[in-house]
A and B are shown apart, each in its own frame.
Chain A
């Protein structure tokens, strides 16, 4: 196998591992095709660190005499340092790590080699199928149909094979609409609000261009979602200015004249390198313990991260508000409809739909609104905060979404079945994983890679009861209401669980969390016991009464 060629020094002894807030540990370092493994030699408390090469974002080396030092910065934002005696060993190991963490071919990635050590109860690849989703929908409305128009990915390469569209629009019309939308991403159903029958659709920008092209089928399609005499809202995730500029490149936005029943609202959500730079700046600020207060606050501000959070949440609240409060249908799009569009549509569903706040419901949301909807995970999550590559397509779009979910979770801590750990786990797996779920950029690529046959789904692992218990929120109490988060800056917080995770000791916070869980568990136990005793007493009383009557 080619990996062996890349590993010149597979093993080094007397390596010292440094991590913040831990004592340095001496041990042995091993390199395998997909992992960096460090095991301490201390017999009493043997410790092992397994690091996926694909989790490594950047690597630096330094030398003092013959002692080499490698600093490894990971995509999950952790930074570790390895002191390796011997210059040659160190150089070899560094170059191997560099090569192994930047493999070009997807099929060399760990998910293709990973063999699960657990029993598969449920195949995650089959957990969330569009047909099932549609069945649920059909039970409440018959205005929609499942279209197989994209079966061979021939109409839209970034859409899944089946999509949900208005019943009154046939495939022929869809084909025409696809020609009118960027990347052929014609409007499809994203969410149906059972409470009032309003819907949220998503698409990409219309290709109106400078001469104001129109497409009757497109107009017909989105009008098909409106009730007679009712208005709809188009939420364009770009500023009006950006949307207008897009016309020069053949893109554009829906003109009032052709869409008289629709009101267009522009919200400005950033994309691409602006977001990546924001992440890089934020992590840089969080990693520097020496900042004085002014510098910390100005760096936090300069990163703009929380501004992006506020923008995204605000747009999502707006979409949710149009649907729930205004009783109007909504179409959301930006340019391609693969980034900010998905942030808005998925967050709006979390606000509106209690089922998205359960573990399974959230997984289903990620599958529908991110994976199947064609968010290019492989491009976006190729590098994280320590990247030097500055590729335009790298952007923490999904991390921002998770952060927004965390903000809502903070404000409604009892309304979610999952906890913060669940969100952090998804962040980690989106960037580096033993599972195939987040590989590829869309369903088309995934099917070509035969991921279903060749790799394991993340959901197969997560949805086992052993794992699930780690991600369950003990405070969860199903809340059937719409939850409106506050977007005031005073209500938004830095996601410490991700950004300060490796930068401060968390012993006391962890212990407090544990105590909290104990109180809840104890409460459940006591309640059960009281109920059992009461029942016992009641039975005794009945018995006595019966005896009396005899």
Chain B
């Protein structure tokens, strides 16, 4: 059925974000129930999902019309100029309404219909099975067991129902410990390292204040250290800066007193809180969005934003954790304040460095399901899925993806997945198109009946996994334990994330795509060779009758040389926006902007202003 447009405005201009000469495309803007669509005069479509819209801004009226700037959560920024102010006002108001959702049930996921039948939908949700994952890690075992304490979300609402704890941690200890922890998030198993018999555990901060203690909590930690036969000492990592943790004591919260807990080594690792991260990203985006940016403004802006410093802090924390496990065989308990932001970052990155399974496509999905979704990272609040408190928004998950990207840059053969996979996940964390990331915790998700009413993202990604495969992946060449170099110069600005939609900034030819196509083509060629060899073999020893038949079939012999690489044509895009935009090469719209030139010319040489830079169309 044709999409329903409830608003359509002609003669809208789409400005080039970085052009200083107000270069633009003219076309028609449509609003549907779910998307904003712009079709320019050469029939190119730009789709923007309403849920992706982070902010809409109406700028002061100009002679050519009313400018409207739309900022998206996937860092796309579009700048429209609408000829009539009233139309602009209508679009603005509609977008404000459409992009702000009050109820979960109004999110796209509840209306999205990918033409799957019921059983496919159910099977999709069963693709990632966390019980299976704990089994893979080697639990339950002699020291660790599944606890039913939270079966009905009675002890901790934001934890999953199924939790693994040391066998020696009895229910009273669990209950007692949970009462001494923020939001009841008591220490539980996040990852078990079979070889070292060491565990990564997670929790929230203790309610220790200045002097409070809790015997059950102390027991709980003791149980964790005793569950590790290789090292009786355990590390307690408070991922916050020391100052923040100390300030929390005044509010009756705080951190573990080493005197009260036997055999612990306490360590602060200094990752900043969600508010610092939010404003850091804000600053980063301000810098990277500047027109005619100089190198020094870019670098000092990058520095002032602190963004890369934060990414390094997260990765440094993960490296600290991994060393404790890999070198000392010690278990580690990780927490921050509530144990759902920094704790999720550090636990999941630690596991990723320790266990190559999480560097596979399926394994990465499992990791996200486990440490982020099931343990209650507040996706809804952090990604602003519903209209809510803007102070709850924070790019914590984006930082996790960026840390992983950094690792893929350092270890190009260790990951089965590629950058596009990380970008696609980022896209869907914000798209609200699938049920996985909706809500803030498992309890909430169950109440929303997401498994019946929405679809899981993972089977869709798996279906098109060819797009996400790293052609250089070679698990045999890559160590099980990754030891990343975290010297500052290894951290780079992630252009493909923050300028994903600014094509002119990307390399015009992508080595990566080329190699990906080539290794795909190699598989096809191997098949072709097999087929040809059988044909030749058959021909060498066959009767005349068969010969005539075959002859007729091959009246048109295949061309002598392969021309077009196969594959990468058939996929049906998940959402229409991406595919058109991700192809970097062969674009004939994007411009190179030697912005200064244009300024230079238009200032000094008014006679010459028609400076259009056609882009070399690449053959690869």
A residues near B (Cβ < 8 Å) are: 263, 265, 286, 289, 291-298, 300-301, 304, 306-307, 309-310, 314, 317-318, 321, 325-326, 410-415, 475, 477, 479, 481-494, 500, 503-505, 508-509, 511-512, 515-516, 519-520, 522-523, 526-527, 529-531, 533-538, 540-541, 544-545, 548
Q: Is the CB of A490 within 8 A of B299?
A: no
Chain B residue at minimal CB-CB distance from A504: B485
Residues on the B chain within 8 Å of A519, using CB:
471-472, 515, 518-519, 522
Q: Is the CB of A516 within 8 A of B515?
A: yes
Q: Looking at the complex, which one of B295, B519, B536, B551 makes contact with A545 (CB distance below 8 Å)? A: B551
Q: Is the CB of A512 within 8 A of B295?
A: no
B592 in contact (CB, < 8 A) = yes
- The stretch that binds A, out of B373-381, B457-465, B555-563, is B555-563
Would you give 27 A-B contacts (Cβ < 8 Å), ordered by A?
A: A265-B604, A293-B303, A293-B308, A293-B491, A297-B299, A301-B303, A310-B294, A318-B594, A412-B509, A414-B514, A481-B616, A485-B592, A487-B592, A487-B594, A489-B299, A490-B499, A504-B485, A508-B412, A515-B477, A516-B515, A523-B518, A523-B519, A523-B522, A526-B529, A533-B529, A537-B532, A537-B557
Chain B residue at minimal CB-CB distance from A484: B592
> 4 closest A-B pairs (Cβ-Cβ)?
A512-B412, A489-B298, A296-B488, A301-B299
Q: Is the CB of A296 within 8 A of B525?
A: no
Q: Is the CB of A484 within 8 A of B613?
A: yes
Q: Is the CB of B472 within 8 A of A516?
A: yes
Residues on the A chain within 8 Å of B4, using CB:
none
Q: B313 to chain A: closest CB distance in Å? A: 9
Residues on the B chain within 8 Å of A298, using CB:
299-300, 303
B25 in contact (CB, < 8 A) = no
**Residue of A293, A325, A486 with most chain B CB atoms under a 10 A cut-off:** A293
Q: Is the CB of B522 within 8 A of A293?
A: no
Residues on the A chain within 8 Å of B551, using CB:
541, 544-545, 548
- The stretch that binds A, out of B34-42, B81-89, B191-199, B500-508, is B500-508
CA distance A479 to B611 in the complex (A): 23
Instruction: Label chain A's interface by main secondary structure.
Output: helix
CA distance A296 to B604 in the complex (A): 38
Question: Would A515 and B474 be within 8 Å (CB), given that A265-B604, A306-B299, A508-B412 are in contact?
Answer: yes
Known: A289-B487, A477-B619. 8 other contacts (CB 8 A): A301-B296, A306-B299, A317-B592, A321-B611, A411-B509, A488-B293, A508-B412, A534-B557
Chain A residue at minimal CB-CB distance from B532: A533
Chain A residue at minimal CB-CB distance from B471: A519
Q: Is the CB of B597 within 8 A of A489?
A: no
Q: Looking at the complex, which one of A318, A492, A511 makes contact with B295 (CB distance below 8 Å)? A: A492
Q: Is the CB of A530 within 8 A of B532?
A: yes
Chain A residue at minimal CB-CB distance from B495: A490
Residues on the B chain within 8 Å of A509, using CB:
410, 412
B533 in contact (CB, < 8 A) = yes
Chain B 542-562 per-residue mask, 1 if CB under 8 angstroms from chain A, else 0? 000001100100100110111
Question: Would A477 and B620 be within 8 Å (CB), given that A411-B508, A483-B508 are in contact?
Answer: yes
Q: B63 to chain A: closest CB distance in Å? A: 28
CA distance A490 to B291 in the complex (A): 12
Q: Is the CB of A301 within 8 A of B300?
A: yes
CA distance A309 to B295 in the complex (A): 9
B207 in contact (CB, < 8 A) = no
Residues on the A chain within 8 Å of B259, using CB:
none
Q: Is the CB of B562 within 8 A of A325?
A: no
CA distance A454 to B525 in the complex (A): 53
**Residue of A415, A483, A490 with most chain B CB atoms under a 10 A cut-off:** A490
Q: B603 to chain A: closest CB distance in Å? A: 10
B154 in contact (CB, < 8 A) = no
Q: Is the CB of B18 within 8 A of A488?
A: yes
**Range class of the B interface residue count:** 35 or more
CA distance A512 to B415 in the complex (A): 12
Question: Would A413 and B592 be within 8 Å (CB), given that A286-B489, A489-B293 are in contact?
Answer: no
Q: Looking at the complex, which one of B302, B507, B617 makes contact with A413 (CB distance below 8 Å)? A: B507
Q: Looking at the complex, which one of B303, B495, B619 makes contact with A491 (CB distance below 8 Å)? A: B495
Q: Is the CB of B619 within 8 A of A489?
A: no
Q: Looking at the complex, which one of B299, B410, B528, B611 makes contact with A530 (CB distance below 8 Å)? A: B528
B142 in contact (CB, < 8 A) = no
CA distance A294 to B539 in the complex (A): 70
Q: A179 to chain B: closest CB distance in Å? A: 30
Question: Would A483 and B294 be within 8 Å (CB), given that A296-B489, A516-B472 are in contact?
Answer: no
Contacts of B295-345 to chain A: CB distance below 8 A: 295-300, 302-303, 306, 308-309, 312
Q: B290 to chain A: closest CB distance in Å? A: 9
Residues on the A chain within 8 Å of B472, using CB:
512, 515-516, 519
Q: B477 to chain A: closest CB distance in Å? A: 6
Q: B305 to chain A: closest CB distance in Å? A: 10
Residues on the B chain within 8 Å of A533, using CB:
529, 532-533, 536
Residues on the B chain within 8 Å of A411, using CB:
507-509
B511 in contact (CB, < 8 A) = yes
B8 in contact (CB, < 8 A) = no
CA distance A300 to B508 in the complex (A): 26
Residues on the B chain within 8 Å of A530, using CB:
525, 528-529, 532, 562
Chain A residue at minimal CB-CB distance from B525: A526
CA distance A245 to B297 in the complex (A): 28
CA distance A309 to B297 in the complex (A): 15
Residues on the B chain within 8 Å of A304, using CB:
295-296
CA distance A522 to B471 in the complex (A): 13
Contacts of B603-620 to chain A: CB distance below 8 A: 604-605, 608, 611-613, 615-620
Contacts of B396-414 to chain A: CB distance below 8 A: 410-414
Q: Looking at the complex, which one of A289, A297, A488, A545 makes contact with B303 (CB distance below 8 Å)? A: A297
Question: Would A531 and B560 be within 8 Å (CB), given that A321-B613, A509-B412, A544-B547 are in contact?
Answer: yes
Chain A residue at minimal CB-CB distance from B597: A318
